[in-house]
Structure 1
Amino acid sequence: MNKRTVGIVITALIIGTLIVLMVKSNLEIAEPIETIVTGADSTTIEYESGLEEGNTPPDFRLITLSGDVIKLSDYKGQKVILNFWASWCGPCKAEMPHMQNYYRKNKDSANVEIIAVNMTKEERGTDSIQKFVDAYGLTFPIPLDKDGEVMEMYKIMSIPTTYMIGTDGTIRHKFIGPMDEETIKALVDDLD
C-alpha cells in the first residue's frame, strides 16, 4: 500500500473508533432494581437506582468536615435535603443562611436532615471550607467530596444543586440554583 492509502485507512479507523465511543457513551446502562417488602400485606415496591424522580439515588460514603462518616443510605426513614456546593460559589453563599434557618427550626419536627456535600476537589483546601461553615454558623453535616467522585456520580454540572429525598429513600425533586427558606419548606413538606 502507498502512503496515501495507509493514511486513509488510519483515518477511517480513528473515525470509526470515535463513532463507536460516542454511541457507547450515549447508551443507557440498566441500573439494578431494589425490591422492598413493606407492610403486613407484603406489598412489593420496586425502585430503580438512578437520578430521576422516583429512583433510589446512588449511595456514597464520605468523611465530614468534623471527621464523622456519612453514608446516604443510613438516612432512609428521614427526609433528606442532599445539597452540592462550594465555598466560592455566590449562589451557594446566598442559599446557606436559608438552609441553616430552616434546619434550626425544623430538623426534628419535620424529620429532615440536610447533607451538604462540599465539592472539595474544587476548593482551595479545607481551611476555606471551615471558614465558610463558621461564618454562616452551619450545623448540618458537611461531607467532603475530595476526589469529585460523588459529584461525578450525581452528574453535578452547576452548583448549588439539591436533591430532595423522601423517607422511602427515593428522589422526589431536583432543584438547581439557590433556594430560600420558603422554597425549602415547600419542597420538604411535599416529601413523605
Structure 2
Amino acid sequence: MIIAALIIGTLIVMMIKSNIEIAEPFDTGDVSSDSTIEYKSGLEKGKTPPDFELSTLTGDMVKLTDYRGKKVILNFWASWCGPCKAEMPHMQKYYEKNKESANVEIIAVNMTTKERGGLTGIKKFVDAYGLTFPIPLDNDGEVVDMYGVLTIPTTYMIGRDGTIQQKIIGPMDEKTINELVDNLD
C-alpha cells in the first residue's frame, strides 16, 4: 500500500508540474519581489493592459483608461487575505501622503467573487483600515480573469503612458511602494 501511495503521489506531482506554465520574470531592479507575469493579452511589460469599468462600494464607476496620464497602482485583493491585510495600511498611508504631489492613483480591485463575507465583509474591511482610494468590485470575476490573478495581493504598476511597467506578487510596504512609483515613467 505504501508503494502504491508513493506511485500515485508521484504521478499527481508530475501531472501538476506538466500543467504549470512557465512565466518570464520582470526586471525588478533593486526591489525584491516575486515578479512574474503570465503572458495573457496586454499583460506583458511595456504593453497596455486590458481596460475595465467597475462599480465601487459607493456606486462610482472606475474605468482604467480614465487614469491615463497618472501613475497607477492597480491592486487585486480580498478581505480574508492575510498579506492583503498587512499591505493595506501601507497603501493607505502612501496614498494620503502622495496622491496629489506624485500624480498617482491607487485602484484596489476587490475580488468580490472570492469574498467570504460578501459586501458587508468588504465594507467592514474598508472601514477598519480607513481606505480612501477607489475600491472597484469585480462582481463577476472577469477582471481578475483578464489579468490572470492567481495569488493575492497582486499589483500592477502602470506608467503615465498607460503601460505596465511592473508586476508585484505579494504584499508591499510603504518604502517599496515609494521606490516602485518613483521608477514609473
**TM-score calculated relative to the size of structure 1:** 0.74
In structure 2, what is the equivalent of residue 125 of structure 1? 118
Q: Percent identity?
A: 75
Say which structure, 1 or 2, has more relative contact order (CA 8 Å, 6+ apart): 2
SS in 1 for 2:46: coil
In structure 1, what is the equivalent of residue 87 of structure 2? 95
User: Within the alignment, does 1:78 sit opposite 2:70 as a pair?
Assistant: yes
**TM-score calculated relative to the size of structure 2:** 0.77
Partners of 1:66 and 1:176 in 2: how far apart? 28
Structure 1 gaps of 5+ residues are 1-25, 27-48
Partners of 1:146 and 1:100 in 2: how far apart? 23
Aligned residues: 145
In structure 2, what is the equivalent of residue 189 of structure 1? 182
Alignment counterpart, residue 147 of structure 1, candidates 115, 140, 148: 140
CA RMSD of the aligned region, Å? 1.0
Partners of 1:95 and 1:174 in 2: how far apart? 15
Runs of 4+, deviation exceeding 6 Å: none
Alignment counterpart, residue 179 of structure 1, candidates 172, 177, 181: 172
Alignment of 1:21-40 (within 5 A): none
Partners of 2:98 and 2:83 in 1: how far apart? 23
User: Within the alignment, does 1:164 sit opposite 2:157 as a pair?
Assistant: yes
Alignment of 1:103-122 (within 5 A): 103-122=95-114
Partners of 1:186 and 1:178 in 2: how far apart? 14
